[in-house]
Structure formats: C-alpha cells, structure tokens
Amino acid sequence: MSLMSEYIKKIEKEGWTVSRFEEELVNLIKKYNQIRNSYLLIYATAGDKPIDQKMIMQDDYYIIHDLLKDRPENNLDVFIETLGGSGEVVEEIVGFFHGKFDTISFIIAGQAKSAGTIMALSGHEIYMTETGSLGPIDAQVKLGRSRISASDYVDWIEQKKTEAEKTGKLNPFDAIMIAQITPGELYGIVHSLQYAKDLVIDWIPKYKFKNWITTETRKIAVTDEMKKARAKEIADKLIERETWRTHGRPIKINDLQELLKINRIEDDPKLSEVVFKIHTVIRFLFERSTVFKIFAIADEKIFRHFHPPIVQPAPGPGMAPQQADVVVIDHSCNNCGKMHKLYAKLKKEPKIDFDMKAQGRTPLPVNNLITCPCGVKIDLTPVRRDIEANLGKKLVF
C-alpha cells in the first residue's frame, strides 16, 4: 500500500484529523533523530498556495533562531521545502546555522528551489530522494506586478543592446518596455544575480568541500584554489539558462551527481521510510488545513496559517445551524485584502440562489477556485472540506 493510501485509510477508518497529523509529524521527527543521531528541523512551505508570505522572508529567520538557539546538539539536519525567497534572509539563516552547529545537512524530498537551493548548498552534506529537486539559482526580482528571472532579464537587455548597436534603433514595443525600468533598477537586477553566485562560491568550499582532501582519481592534494574553482563551476552551471531553460526547472539527483556529491536517501531503507512519511504528512497538512508554512522540531512546532474565511451557516427561522440549507463565506484575499462574499448550498433549491445573489453573493465554484481582481487564484478546497465535515453534509451545485 502506498503511503498516501495508508494515510487516507487512517482518515477514513480511524478518523484522523489535522491535529492527529501534527502529532504524527512530531513522532516522525523523533524517529528520524534516532536513526540519524542528529537533530531535525522541518522548514516547509506550501508552494501551491497563493500567499506571498510562503516565500523565505525575514520573520522565518526570527522563528528558526528562536526554535534552535538553546539547543545543545552539535549536528543539525534541515528538511527544507520551498520555492525560494530572499537571498539576504538565507544568508542570515545560514550564518546562524553554522555559528550554532558543527555539522549541517539538508534533506530534500520535495522542492527546494531558487533561494532554497542556495541554502542547501551551504550544507556539509545534501541528502535527496528521487522525488526531491533543487532548481536554478538565478535571483527572482520583482518588476512591476510580476517576479521574473534576473538572468532572463539581463539576457534580454543584452540582446536588445546588441540589436540597437547593429540597427541603430529599437522596435517601439521593446523601447516602451526598456523605458519602464531605471538604470538603478537594472543594476539592482544585475547585482542580485551576482549575489546568488557569490554566496554559493563562498559557501561550497567552506562547508561542502570542507573534508575534500584529495581528488578521487589521481589522489592529488586539493588546494583552496581548486575548491573555489570547482564552486564557481557549480554556480555557473546552476545559473546556466541554456541548460535549464526555465527558473522552475526541477534539477534531480542524477543531474546533480555530475556537479557535486549527493547522498541518495533510498540507499538507507530506514531513513527513506521516515523521510517519505514526513513528506507525505506535510502534504496532508497543507492540503487539509489553512497551514502554509511549517517550522517543527521534536520539542516544538510553529505553524503559520493564512487568514481563514469566515463561514457561517444561514439557517431559516427556528432552525439549528445543522439544519441550514446554505452557508455564507466571507474571504479576504491574503494578497490585496479584497473581501469576497460567497455562498454554498446544502440543498438543491433555486430560491437560495435568488436570495443570495440579492445579497451580493456569488456561488462557490464547483472546483473551489476563485480569482481575485489582483490576479491571485484562491483555492477554497480546505474551506469546503471543513464545511462538509462540520455539518455532516455534502455541498450541492
């Protein structure tokens, strides 16, 4: 039986709730610590939830520091899952890790992209499953309403510069696009790209290559210059757009083995079982609750939630909430703050639609997705699950 099926069975047959999954995660962390003789930190974010705070941000550093500052252990393992975020915050977190612990290892069973990849490259060891992936390390910068690859933008600017030198002009569309960015912003993008490379080139020789004494084939003594040269080669490769094509490209363990040594988690059956269970439990927590970021150790856990919608049954006169034929949902967009007023039916009754629309409400879509005017897609699947679980009824559409 697959792990996903195993946990689904626990929900259906044993009535596991979100709190029971939280307990399971803590138990798995303790089991992991026994297997590895290390101390595990879970630092995971829900990549598919449209919330800006899911990225690596300053508050994450404060939480991680608070959780670990008094720990007496020497070895730290970090189970990391993130789509990226602030490189500056990564630098603070890494500085704290290496100032506090003797050995740092990163465990990757899901996605550790962009700034998450940069963080993983600061470890003495990297452990990956076949499902795990890193990503290109080119910085993501905010330009207008979107986040774009710094490497892509720099390449585009250089292409247009060459084109203008050859023809003496730019086409009107390109001219308008270039006019919207200042020289200061352009330099900021260039420096963001170099900053990511600098971190990797600094950290890999210091930590990942700390015990690289002789070369594998010729048994030649490894110098500091050789370590730095190899680190630069790795950084250049992880930024190389011709190889990866897109910033979101998953870089798997087989892709990385040619660049630097990665430990394959599946080679240790006991470790593999607990790591895959941790990854599965985290997925259930993200899917079945409003949790979007998890910080957890064996002794303490901090879950960050997005602002849940206000859901109220709307019973008729003299009716108990459980007898209601409709629920009203007020959800504030976590990105722009716009209030979305919706309703969901528990009974197939056309008059409900008439009454709710008269109140300025819109029906909850059958796919549970709404799109805010700010462009953010809002997934209300957890809200629907909570309504059906609390009222013991299925929604009708």
pLDDT tens digits for range 338-396: 889 999 998 888 999 999 999 999 999 998 888 888 777 777 887 888 788 778 888 99
User: Hey, what amino acid is at 164?
Assistant: A
Give the integer Cα–Cα distance in Å for 117 and 274: 22
Which range of 38-52, 148-162, 345-359 scores highest in mean pLDDT? It is 345-359
Mean pLDDT calculated for residue range 15-30: 91
DSSP 2-13: -HHHHHHHHHHH
What pLDDT does 264 receive? 96
Task: Classify residue 43 as left (phi > 0), alpha (psi -120 to 50) or beta.
Answer: beta
Q: Which residue has the higher pLDDT, 89 or 51?
A: 89
What pLDDT does 282 receive? 95
Q: Going from the N-terminus, what domains does the chain have, and what CATH number goes with each?
A: 3-135+250-305 (3.90.226), 143-185 (no CATH), 310-391 (no CATH)
Residue 248 has pLDDT above 70, yes or no: no
Q: Which residue has the higher pLDDT, 164 or 208?
A: 208
Phi, psi (rounded to 5 degrees) for 182: -85, 160
User: Hey, what amino acid is at 87?
Assistant: G
Q: Which residue has the higher pLDDT, 13 or 187?
A: 13
Cα–Cα distances in angstroms (integers) from residue 335 to residues 118, 147, 273, in the given order: 26, 14, 37
Mean pLDDT calculated for residue range 100-107: 97
Task: Classify residue 212 as left (phi > 0), alpha (psi -120 to 50) or beta.
Answer: beta
Mean pLDDT calculated for residue range 79-105: 95
The angle formed by the CA atoms of residues 33, 34 and 36, to the nearest 5 degrees, is 65
Mean pLDDT calculated for residue range 271-281: 97
Q: What is the mean pLDDT of the chain?
A: 84
Which range of 106-115, 137-146, 230-239 scores highest in mean pLDDT? It is 106-115
What pLDDT does 321 receive? 53
Q: Which residue has the higher pLDDT, 30 or 383?
A: 30
Give the integer Cα–Cα distance in Å for 214 and 219: 5
Residue 68 has pLDDT above 90, yes or no: yes
Q: Which residue has the higher pLDDT, 176 or 112?
A: 112
Task: Return the C-alpha torsion angle 335, 337, 339, 344, nearest 10.
Answer: 30
End-to-end Cα spacing for the chain = 34
Task: Return the C-alpha torsion angle 219, 222, 228, 234, nearest 10.
Answer: 20
Residue 151 has pLDDT above 70, yes or no: no
Above pLDDT 90, what percent of the chain? 41
Q: Is 125 exposed, middle or buried (0-12, 13-18, 19+ CB in 10 A)?
A: middle
Q: Quick: pLDDT tens for 296-351.
A: 999 999 988 776 666 777 655 555 555 678 999 998 876 677 889 999 998 888 99
Band (pLDDT 50/70/90 cuts) for residue 120 is: very high
